[in-house]
Structure 1
Amino acid sequence: MRRFFLIIVAILVLVLAFIPLFRQQNPARQQESGNKITIVYDNKALSGFKGSWGFAALVKFKNYTILFDTGSDGEILLSNMNKLGIDPKSIQYIFLSHIHGDHTGGLWAILKENSNVTVFLPSIFPDGFKEKVRSFGAKVVEIYEPKEILEDIYTTGVMFPVGEQALILKTSKGLVVVVGCSHPGIVKIVERAENITGENAYLVVGGFHLFGAPEREIRKIGTSLKRLGVQKIMPCHCTGSKAEDIFAEEFGTDYIECGTGKTISW
């Protein structure tokens, strides 16, 4: 009996000894525990928030806080952020996907609250828009080619038509791709993200621009995304209710419903 007791004690000692080692060998897991995307502007909204046509999401990744797009109405954007406990002054970077007003309209309200930001925007934006951003005291970084803009954070570069960029986060689970309206096509955007980084996409969040698209096309897109390795999707904004229903059917529990106030973490 005593021998059995000693064996148990020895095993417990070994387990306790290896726990710190295990933690040291998994820094990525510790580092990414606070990573999340919070929808702060969308057509749909959870109870207590305001929904309106447009899109914006707050991305917290590593030590970075990035506002992806700004919706169409600054007052609504700030109201939703306030209810979520998000201080505009905590934003370090603003990433604008494309020039359309439902993605840039709330920018000026944010800059009035916090001009100490860097704004990543497509170089094809009008010069007057860029100068207005600078007039607040914000820094403008013009994007055209795909590149790494922060540690493990990339832009797809400007894609046509419209001239749109998407945000790519390189995580331990795979790529997290955040899109505005996907005017170039959501599959093409994910393909480019994977080509840039050499990794598969894990999660795709944002507007898929599929309202009015036929069912056959939507199902083909779902199949293509799965083929590219996409595990989870959160279609928002301009995706369309029919496409959302089809994606929910195709992805099952890996489909995440979008709406202002919703948070997804990894």
Structure 2
Amino acid sequence: MTTPEIKLVDKLTITFLVDNTIEWMTKLPPGFVHEVAQQLAHTDVPHDPRTGVPILDLENYCCGVHGFSALIQTEVDGSEPHYTLFDTGPDSRSLIRNIEALKPPIERIERIILSHWHSDHSGGMLSFLRYRKAHVPADAPPCVVDLHPDRPVARGISPHNTGKVIGRLPPDPEFAQIEELGGVVEKHADGHTVAGGTVWVSGEIPRVTHFEGGLPGAVRWFEKDGKGEWEKEEDIMDERYAAIDVIGRGLVIFSACSHAGIVNVVKDAVDRFLRPIYMVIGGLHLAGNDLTDRIPPTVDFLSNKLRPAPTYVLPMHCSGFVAKVALEEAFGEGCVPAGVGHKVVVEGNPEAEEMMHRATYQ
């Protein structure tokens, strides 16, 4: 397997714009910042005229919804940072509300990466492009939208062993709709680097584990010769992950839903880059009765079999409460209760990189 060309990053900043969870009070590791602290630091924070102190403007803070979106900021050698939006949440409202709350530089977001064609990750894309078009000067560079070419007509949910489709997910954005709002569509089935070579977007994730079996009950609508029908589709083969390599730290992995299995994702990243995993972020898809059996082998792999083990695991979105408890037992404070509104700053360590290089390649 050829090692992809990816630049070592001196600084990585992550802002979680959409997630299921809001967490304001739990102790966080160094480099993690709660939303309230960020809000009170804004220059335009409202002040109470009577007491003169800043107001917790809860009417305009972030909201939690079933979905995921993270703003990834990568910097190399003090050069201008690259801003990449990984997924866009589930609907037309939550991402925009949270953008207005956190005030990220939307004019500098050069690319959207869609992890896979599920509406809890694609649902905010058109509203973001519409908002960006209305609030960014017309001469600003357009936003590239990085997509897997295999867009489904429809995806649905069929409870295990019932044979009945109980509902379909809302439609994903169409290529023409993206272009109408100024987005530049790029279709990628294979792995590639973006953001000035600082972010790797995977191609198809190899399925090599025996216990990670996709999304139970997933179905897809197929049409041929004017007829259509639902067919079983549990593997979700269009799913992709993103990786950033921080100098002296290792790989930071964004797995938005882990339908491929987070162990498969991590195995692929380690095999490709021959680098340790520093941080695992996103939905681990371990929630629900059908997936409970996957929790012990997943936690065992991340905490015991993978060496070195990740420094931090951030189980978000669809990870589920039981999986979070199991990961906290295994990782202690290395299992971080991250949620919407949090900011994470990962500073590189050049001195540690030299030691890491020797340990990895000798």
Q: TM-score, normalised by structure 2?
A: 0.61
Task: Note if 1:249 corresponds to 2:329.
Answer: yes
Within-5 A mapping of 1:83-102: 83-102=101-120
Alignment-mate amino acid for residue 321 of structure 2: S
Q: 1:191 aligns with which of 241, 247, 267?
A: 267
CA drift at 1:46: 3.8
Instruction: Using the aligned pairs only, state the percent identity.
Output: 28
The residue type paired with residue 148 of structure 1 is: T
Tell me which protein shows more helix as a share of its residues.
1
1:258 is aligned to 2:304: no
- SS of the aligned residue for 2:251 comes to strand
Select 1:153's aligned residue among 171, 182, 199.
199
Which AA in structure 2 matches 1:38?
A: T
Aligned residues: 236
The CA distance in 1 between the partners of 2:22 and 2:111, in whole Å, is: 24
Q: Which residue of 1 aligns with 2:170?
A: none
Distance in 2, Cα, partners of 1:149 & 1:125: 21
Q: 1:5: which partner in 2?
A: none
Which gives a bigger RCO, structure 1 or 2 (Cα 8 Å, sep 6+)? 2
State whether residues 286 and 294 of structure 2, in contact with CA within 8 Å, keep that contact through their aligned partners in structure 1.
no
Contact in 2 for aligned 1:98/1:164 (Cα 8 Å): yes
- Deviations along 1:99-158, one digit per CA (max 9) or x if unpaired, are 111000000111112252111111212597222212222112212122323413211213
Task: Determine which of 276, 288, 296 is the counterpart of 1:219.
Answer: 296
Describe how 1:1-266 pairs up with structure 2 within 5 A. 32-33=10-11, 35-46=12-23, 48-62=61-75, 63-114=81-132, 116-126=142-152, 129-150=174-195, 151-159=197-205, 161-162=235-236, 163-172=238-247, 173-212=249-288, 217-226=294-303, 227-228=305-306, 229=308, 230-266=310-346
Query: Are the aligned partners of 2:15 and 2:341 in contact in 1 as well (CA < 8 Å)?
Result: yes
Q: Which amino acid aligns with 2:192?
A: K
Alignment check: 8 A CA contact 1:167 1:179 kept: yes
Alpha-carbon distance in structure 1 between the residues aligned to 2:103 and 2:275: 34
Q: How far apart, CA to CA, are the structure 1 residues paired with 2:320 and 2:23?
A: 18
1:61 deviates by 1.1
SS of the residue 2:21 aligns to = coil
> Secondary structure in 1 aligned to 2:243?
strand
Give the superposition deviation at 1:193: 1.4
Cα distance, 1:178 vs structure 2: 0.5
Contact 1:43 1:259 in 2 (8 A): yes
Structure 1 gap ranges (5+): 1-27
d(CA) in 2 for partners of 1:134, 1:158:
25
CA distance in 2, matches of 1:105, 1:188: 26
Contact 1:201 1:231 in 2 (8 A): yes
Shift in Å, 1:87: 3.5
Contact 2:21 2:64 in 1 (8 A): yes
Q: Aligned partners of 1:61 and 1:241: how far apart in 2?
A: 31
Which residue identity does 1:208 align to in structure 2? L
Q: Shift of residue 215 of structure 1?
A: 5.6
Range with bigger deviation, 205-214 or 184-193: 205-214
Q: Give the letter for the 1:240 counterpart.
A: G
Contact 1:92 1:118 in 2 (8 A): yes
Alpha-carbon shift at residue 218 of structure 1 (Å):
1.3
SS at match of 2:341: coil
1:27-83 CA deviation, whole Å, 9 max, x = no partner?
x7xx734x2111111111245321111111111112211111000123211111111
The alignment yields a C-alpha RMSD, in angstroms, of: 2.0
Deviation at 1:240, TM superposition (A): 0.4
Deviation at 1:89, TM superposition (A): 2.0
Separation in 2, partners of 1:260, 1:42: 5
Q: Hey, what's the Cα distance between the residues in 2 that align with 1:149 and 1:94?
A: 10
Please, which runs of 5 or more residues in structure 2 have no aligned partner?
A: 1-7, 25-60, 76-80, 134-141, 154-172, 208-234, 347-362
The CA distance in 2 between the partners of 1:186 and 1:257, in whole Å, is 18
